[in-house]
Homo-oligomer: A and B are copies of this chain.
Amino acid sequence: MAWDVERTKRLLLDAATAEFSEHGLAGARIDRIAANAGVNKERIYQYFGKKDELFATVLGTQLRSTMDAVPMIGAGPAAAGDYAGRLFDHHIAEATIPRLVFWEGLERGESAAADAARAEYHRVKVEGFQKLLPGVDRRDAAELLLTIVTLVNAWPVLGHLDALLVGADDAAADRRAARRASIVQTVELLAEAALRRSPGGDRSGADRRDPPGVQG
Using a CB–CB cutoff of 8 Å, the interface residues on chain A facing chain B are 23-27, 99, 101-110, 112-113, 118-119, 122, 125-126, 139, 142-147, 149-151, 154-155, 157-168, 170, 178-179, 182-183, 185-186, 189-190, 193
Chain B residues, Cβ within 8 Å of A166: 139, 142-143, 146
Contact B113 A160 (CB under 8 A): yes
Chain B residues contacting A189 (CB-CB under 8 Å) are 186, 189-190, 193
With A26-B23, A154-B154 as contacts: A102 and B106 at CB distance below 8 Å? yes
CB-defined A-B contacts under 8 Å, sample of 14: A23-B107, A27-B27, A101-B158, A110-B160, A113-B159, A118-B164, A122-B161, A126-B165, A143-B182, A150-B151, A150-B154, A185-B190, A186-B189, A186-B190
> Is the CB–CB distance between A106 and B26 below 8 Å?
no
A157 to B170, CA, bound (A): 29
Chain B contacts for A118, CB-based, 8 A: 164
B161 touches A105 (CB 8 A): yes
Beyond A26-B27, A186-B186, A193-B185, whether A178 also contacts B139 by CB under 8 A is yes
Are A143 and B113 closer than 8 Å at their CB atoms? Answer: no
Q: Is B103 in contact with A106, judged by CB distance below 8 angstroms?
A: yes
Q: Which residues of chain B come closer than 8 Å to A107, judged between CB atoms?
A: 23-24, 27
Q: Are A162 and B146 in contact (CB under 8 A)?
A: yes
With A182-B147, A190-B186 as contacts: A142 and B158 at CB distance below 8 Å: no
CA distance in complex: A168, B99 (Å)? 24
A215 CB → nearest B CB, Å = 18
Q: Are A163 and B26 in contact (CB under 8 A)?
A: no
Q: Which residues of B contact A157 (CB under 8 A)?
A: 102, 105-106
- Return the 5 tightest CB-CB contacts between A and B, nearest first: A26-B27, A113-B160, A122-B164, A105-B157, A150-B154
